[in-house]
């Protein structure tokens, strides 16, 4: 026991020395634009509650009603006896909201990616992911055993090169089977082509920029690949029906697997896949994170469903408009230092606004010092470091929500400008 703790102590010291040590900060209030931390009220610019629904009366009411009717726990996995009505209602709402044949909910976004990708791919297959996809996609890819290839962030040429390679690899394999080439090991049963899955996010979680989805869809068609798009940071914010960026760009019907989370703009918790009836039935049968895990509590499902309801209402549209107003205001506020602040539409590839403003600092310890400085001034902004982003790419990640006031944003941008000017 003593040597075990000593060993971990040494590892923790190493983490500290690299400026990568993390600790939990207890929040003594509900989520919202203001949170209580260590006895102080801070303006919260760190949450993904983009529409301010996490503490919305309608979501709380739905959760309370679900507890009263269905209890606190869910009893078992969905396939045993935990498939409570609130889960089915949530999935009907999700499919209707997204305009897909069917939907399946998971206990988290992480579990969604893990279950879905490992169900769809095996070791004879190929998975191609954007360099900046969320850790859950990378972990799922590794667990699936498929060959993992990474394309440079939003780089269509790089993606196409890899797709070409994947197709060549398959053709080579076919010819090996036909005996046109000999002496190489046959790894797949004859005639079984390897599946190629491309995975990207629509709005990237730590950079706030958008993927060129129209072009990616064209490429996946050209090379016969499947496409999975994670809309964690886009659901509720883009498109006429607020379904996400795939709606706004008109490609929803061409994406095999639409993923998202229930814990960001939807204000609750969990993850989902939307797609064809066959996809959903297949996942129910094969997604291990779904099969072997207790169903989410009924309150979570009911709250998420209420979130979808609000999102589709005129109140949802009003909240979205408020969010974009704050985003524009923040962009104007940080314009004098826009070379340091990044926000989606500065990049030519895909001119899209997002609610995520990363201030790239680089050095890990410096990013932590800036976050501490901001906290002293009354703002809660997280320093994002490795392994969430690459080493040497540490940043402050500012996220705006519809619940922030115009004054909150003005005060934040002036504090940020001061910090940036002091820094340089």
Ligand X SMILES: *Cc1c(COP(=O)(O)O)cnc(C)c1O
332 to 159, 282, 370, 415: CA distances (angstroms): 34, 47, 21, 14
Q: Cβ 46 to ligand X, closest distance in Å?
A: 13
Nearer to ligand X by C-beta: 87 or 173? 87
Strand partners, 148: 127
- Quote the CA–CA distance of 151 and 133 in Å, as a whole number: 10
In the residue annotation, 134 being an active-site residue is answered as yes
Q: Is 421 a catalytic residue?
A: no
Min. distance of Cβ 208 from ligand X in angstroms? 11
| Closest approach of ligand X to the CB of residue 388, in Å | 10
- SS3 state of residue 312: helix
Within residues 248-307, the interface with ligand X by CB under 6 A covers 261, 263, 271
Q: How far apart are CA 35 and CA 135, in angstroms?
A: 27
Least distance from ligand X to the Cβ atom of residue 206, Å? 8
Q: Please say whether the beta carbons of 85 and 70 come within 8 A.
A: yes
Q: CA nearest 259: which of 158, 145, 384, 134?
A: 134
Q: Is 201 a catalytic residue?
A: yes
Of the candidates 44, 108, 202, 205, the residue annotated as catalytic is 205
Sheet of strand 356-362, all strands in order from the earlier edge strand to the far edge: 356-362, 394-399, 383-384
Q: Taking the complex as a whole, how short is the minimal distance between the CB of residue 302 and ligand X, in angstroms? A: 17
Per CB under 6 A, 110 contacts ligand X: yes
Residues 274, 279, 280, 284, Cα dihedral to 10° = -140
> Site size for ligand X, by CB under 6 A?
13
* Binding-site member from 232, 245, 251, 280 for ligand X (CB under 6 A): 232
Q: Point out which span in 2-10, 29-37, 108-116, 211-219 binds ligand X (CB under 6 A).
A: 108-116
108 binds ligand X (CB under 6 A): yes
Beta bridge partners of 196: 126
- Max Cα separation, the chain? 74
Nearer to ligand X, 91 or 170 (CB): 91
Distance of CA 348 to CAs 12, 36, 154, Å? Answer: 41, 39, 11
Which structure tokens are listed for 277? 């009836």
How far apart CA 246 and CA 233 sit, in angstroms, is: 12
Q: Which ranges of 353-405 does DSSP label H, i.e. alpha helix?
A: 364-376
Determine contact, residues 229/255, Cβ cutoff 8 Å.
Answer: yes
Is residue 201 close enough to count as binding ligand X by CB under 6 A?
A: yes
Q: 383 pairs with which residues across the strands?
A: 396
For the beta carbon of residue 215, count every other beta carbon within 10 angstroms. Answer: 17
CB of 367 to ligand X, least distance (A): 19
Nearer to ligand X, 268 or 402 (CB): 268
Beta carbon nearer to ligand X, 49 or 248: 49
What is the closest distance, in whole angstroms, from the C-beta atom of residue 235 to ligand X in the complex? 10
β-strand partners of 272: 105, 260
Using the rule CB under 6 A, is 230 a contact of ligand X? yes
Alpha-carbon span 358 to 127, nearest angstrom? 28
- How many CB atoms neighbour CB 34 within 10 A? 16
Using CB under 6 A, which residues numbered 359 to 378 contact ligand X? none
Annotated active-site residue 264? The verdict is yes
Binding mask 125-164 for ligand X (x = CB under 6 A): ---------x-x----------------------------
Q: Give the nearer residue to ligand X in terms of CB position, either 109 or 236.
A: 109
Cβ–Cβ under 8 Å, residues 181 and 211: no
Exactly one of 93, 205, 289, 413 binds ligand X (CB under 6 A); that residue is 205
Nearer to ligand X, 108 or 176 (CB): 108
Active site residue 364: no
Cβ 19 to ligand X, closest distance in Å? 23
> Which of the following is catalytic: 91, 170, 230, 408?
230
Which residue sits closest to ligand X, CB atoms considered? 109
Q: Closest CB to ligand X among 78 and 233?
A: 233
Active site amino acids: 48, 134, 201, 205, 230, 233, 264
Interface residue list for ligand X (CB under 6 A): 108-110, 134, 136, 201, 205, 230, 232-233, 261, 263, 271
């Amino acid at each position: 026991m003593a040597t075990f703790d000593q060993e971990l102590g040494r590892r923790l010291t190493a983490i500290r020395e690299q400026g990568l040590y993390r600790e939990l900060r207890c929040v003594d209030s509900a989520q919202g634009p203001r949170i209580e931390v260590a006895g102080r009220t801070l303006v919260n610019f760190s949450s993904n509650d983009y529409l301010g629904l996490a503490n919305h009366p309608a979501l709380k009411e739905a959760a309370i009603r679900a507890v009263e009717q269905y209890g606190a726990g869910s009893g078992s996995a969905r396939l045993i006896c935990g498939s409570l009505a609130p889960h089915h209602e949530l999935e009907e709402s999700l499919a209707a909201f997204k305009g897909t044949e069917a939907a399946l909910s998971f206990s988290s976004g992480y579990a969604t990616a893990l279950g879905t990708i490992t169900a769809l791919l095996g070791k004879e297959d190929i998975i191609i992911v954007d360099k900046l996809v969320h850790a859950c996609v990378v972990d799922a890819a590794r667990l699936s055993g498929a060959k993992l290839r990474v394309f440079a962030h939003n780089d269509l040429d790089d993606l196409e090169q890899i797709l070409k390679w994947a197709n060549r690899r398959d053709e080579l394999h076919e010819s090996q089977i036909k005996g046109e080439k000999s002496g190489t090991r046959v790894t797949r049963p004859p005639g079984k082509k390897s599946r190629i899955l491309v995975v990207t996010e629509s709005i990237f979680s730590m950079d706030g920029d958008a993927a060129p989805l129209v072009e990616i869809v064209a490429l996946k068609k050209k090379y016969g690949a499947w496409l999975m798009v994670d809309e964690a940071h886009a659901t509720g914010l883009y498109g006429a029906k607020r379904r996400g960026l795939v709606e706004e760009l008109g490609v929803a019907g061409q994406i095999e697997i639409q993923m998202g989370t229930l814990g960001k703009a939807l204000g609750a918790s969990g993850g989902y896949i939307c797609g064809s009836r066959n996809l959903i039935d297949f996942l129910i049968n094969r997604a291990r994170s779904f099969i072997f895990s207790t169903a989410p509590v009924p309150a979570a499902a009911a709250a998420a469903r209420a979130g979808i309801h609000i999102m589709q209402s005129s109140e949802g549209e009003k909240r979205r408009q408020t969010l974009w107003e704050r985003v524009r205001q923040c962009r104007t506020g940080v314009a004098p230092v826009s070379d340091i602040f990044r926000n989606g539409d500065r990049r030519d590839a895909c001119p899209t606004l997002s609610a995520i403003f990363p201030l790239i600092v680089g050095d890990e310890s410096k990013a932590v010092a800036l976050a501490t400085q901001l906290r002293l001034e009354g703002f809660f902004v997280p320093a994002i470091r490795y392994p969430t982003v690459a080493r040497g790419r540490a940043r402050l990640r500012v996220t705006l929500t519809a619940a922030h006031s115009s004054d909150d944003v003005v005060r934040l941008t002036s504090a940020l400008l001061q910090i940036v000017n002091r820094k340089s």
